[in-house]
Chain A
Amino acid sequence: MTWLVRIAMCDMMPATGSLPGLADAGVDAFLAQTRRETTPMVWFGLVLGAVVYVLSPVLTVYVPLPSFLLPRGLRDTHADRICTTHFYLLRQAIFLLKMYACMCWGQDPAVRKRLNVAPYPVDPGTFRTT
């Protein structure tokens, strides 16, 4: 289901004139790492959020198609409306997805330079064994 999570996350953070989008910010490596490392519950939450995202255009732009079949303009409208939907549980499911999208996007060196925050070196992921 990684492809579904990728579609939803990239739609939430497309490239603009001045900022790169998530698709250009190492999302594939990030999702592979997340899938490998995170807990089943967090991954389930991300997949659930992606399913909600992809299947909900009928609620937001009133088109009974999955989000990835929408034209670019409608996809943007859908992304904006589903992130601010009045249905609390849907909004929460989408918020988890958005938070992980932001975590991926925000560690990209080009993004950090553009927003004047120090770049992240590689996380060591180490701990004391003795």
Chain B
Amino acid sequence: MSHVAYQERGDVAVEADFVVVGTGAGGAAAAVTLARGGASVIMVEAGPWREPHDYAHSTYGAMRDMMDDWGSTITMGRALWPVVQARLVGGTTVINSAICVRTPEDIFLEWQRNHGVGDQAFMERMWRFQDQLEDDLCVAETAPESMGRSNELALRGDAAAGYDGHVIKRYAKGCLGSGQCLQGCRSMRKQSTNLNYVPEVLRRGGQLLSSAPAERIVFEGRRAVGVSGRFIHPQTRAKGARFVARARKGVVVAASVTHSPVLLRRSGLTHEAVGAGFRAHPGTGVFGVYDEPVDQNVGVTQGWASTRWREDGGLKLETLSIPMEMAISRLAGGGRAFMERVVGYRHLAMWVHALRARSVGTVRAGFGGKPIVRYGFDAYDMERFRGGMVRVAELHFAAGARAVIPGIHGLPYSLGPHELDILRQGPLDPRRYVAILSHLFGGCMMGRDERTSVCDARGKVHGRDALYVADASLMPDNIGVNPQHTIMSLAMIVAEGAMGVA
């Protein structure tokens, strides 16, 4: 019995050395490290297990089958911005663009200075795991033949404007450039964890409970001894049988930045630090309007990036082609005026920026256990956010765009190359912008001070035995680059610590 899917009745009880909650970047990396170390592992995943042939084609299908709660989680603050996370075996690695970026050295220095974690030995260990991940998951630059016109234009703009950009390295084995990252890669080129680490854990004798959201961590005194919950049917959302997964040696929580703190709180860890320190990389796109068709959905979803302004401005610039139906919903207006804008879709290229924001929020449980993210955006972040849009717009013009569409409420629909001052002096009210939060951090932060952090540098929860956190919620700060590589290597360190490896 290595995989137990939704069970309508008949309670399920399983036992192993370790129980890992979540199978995304953190959970799968922790589970495979434990399994390779000889431990028996039970993975408990809230969503169903979908093979590539089960993946949705349409955006509607992706929202239904892959997104957490139909993608309806939004930040509660001055602006309501969506929080993008997946809910299936493989987690967000199934729906992201599989971008691989090594943890920058300055991040460790900041963690060390501000939180007392992340010394030289820790950094070197993280990078060794990142070497291993790059081998395991076939990290490579996107091949020129898979780039597509939008990415080629970004390279052209970069060459003209000097953005010091690069072709993105991704966890992809011979990417075909099908532009379907958001709906999952049906051609199995993207190396999401449901294709490699999760099956490896099962081959090594592990077990997987899918459609099984953990409701509580079970304790005996201070010691975590398992998790319990009820199966939820992936289509009808009907509650099924109860399950209990018992752990002889430890419980590793990697349920995501929004769900891990809520699970801990629901399990009686009501320390003020649980759910605090939520951070993100809010991002938004600017369309370039080109004379020739771009057909941005042909080619790799994200092929070009620049981190030139990461340290000075906190910006990362990237190409990003989202599905056509999502892209057009960002064009302003309704009725005939809107449809006349949609006619020009083939000539649009959307490029984005993500901001290493300094704003901090919280995650708490709301009605029915749904995570509530409270997150405001201060004026300093807004200025940099707007500045990122200016950089993207300038890149479009350097690439030959005749206009840009910033998508800011209250500004003209499109701006020509000589109208960028309008964007530079644009509003600083976050409600005027359409943004998303795709990279999330914090909520179960690691740190030396038990009053302000939840875990130590090995992911062990302060004041509890045999309970660990191994996802992005551990990170005490946002990092300014795509976080999957950092999450996975951090989870591997946590898993080694749980096994007692010094």
Contacts and interface: CB of A to CB of B under 8 A. Distances in A.
Given A99-B326, A102-B326, A128 B3 contact: yes
Contacts of B59: 103, 106-107
B54 A130 contact: no
Given A88-B431, A127-B48, A42 B70 contact: yes
A98 B70 contact: no
A26 to B, nearest CB: 11
B228 interface: no
Contacts of A84: 332-334, 409
Contact of B69 (A39, A80, A118): A39
A25 to B, nearest CB: 11
A4 to B, nearest CB: 16
Interface in A84-115: 84, 86, 88, 91-92, 94-95, 98-99, 101-107, 112, 115
B337 interface: yes
A57 B461 CA distance: 55
Contacts of A45: 72
Interface in A1-56: 11-16, 18-19, 21, 30, 34, 37-39, 41-42, 45
A68 B446 CA distance: 56
A71 interface: no
B338 A12 contact: yes
B61 A125 contact: yes
B328 to A, nearest CB: 5
A60 B440 CA distance: 38
B343 interface: yes
A41 B410 CA distance: 29
Contacts of B329: 95, 98-99, 101-103
Contact of A83 (B72, B235, B332): B332
A62 B183 CA distance: 42
B54 A80 contact: no
Contact of A39 (B72, B234, B332, B346): B72
Contact size class for B? 35 or more
Given A95-B329, A106-B323, A76 B72 contact: no
Contacts, number: 155
B309 interface: no
A84 B337 CA distance: 12
Contacts of B409: 84, 86, 91
- Chain B interface SS verdict (over half): loop
A95 B338 CA distance: 13
Interface in B319-338: 323-326, 328-329, 332-338
B58 A13 contact: no
A107 B334 contact: no
A122 B53 CA distance: 12
B339 interface: yes
Contacts of A105: 325
A76 B336 CA distance: 6
Contacts of A78: 335
Nearest to B55: A124
Most B-side CB within 10 Å, residue of A18, A45, A107, A122: A107
Contact of A128 (B58, B60, B210, B334): B210
Given A14-B336, A118-B297, A127-B54, 17 more contacts: A16-B340, A39-B237, A76-B336, A79-B338, A80-B336, A80-B338, A83-B333, A84-B332, A84-B333, A86-B410, A102-B329, A103-B325, A106-B328, A123-B56, A127-B211, A128-B54, A130-B5
Interface of A: 11-16, 18-19, 21, 30, 34, 37-39, 41-42, 45, 75-80, 82-84, 86, 88, 91-92, 94-95, 98-99, 101-107, 112, 115-118, 120-130
24 contacts: A13-B339, A16-B336, A19-B343, A37-B235, A41-B72, A84-B332, A84-B334, A88-B431, A102-B326, A102-B328, A103-B60, A105-B325, A106-B323, A107-B60, A107-B325, A115-B345, A117-B295, A123-B56, A123-B61, A125-B61, A125-B235, A127-B65, A128-B3, A128-B5
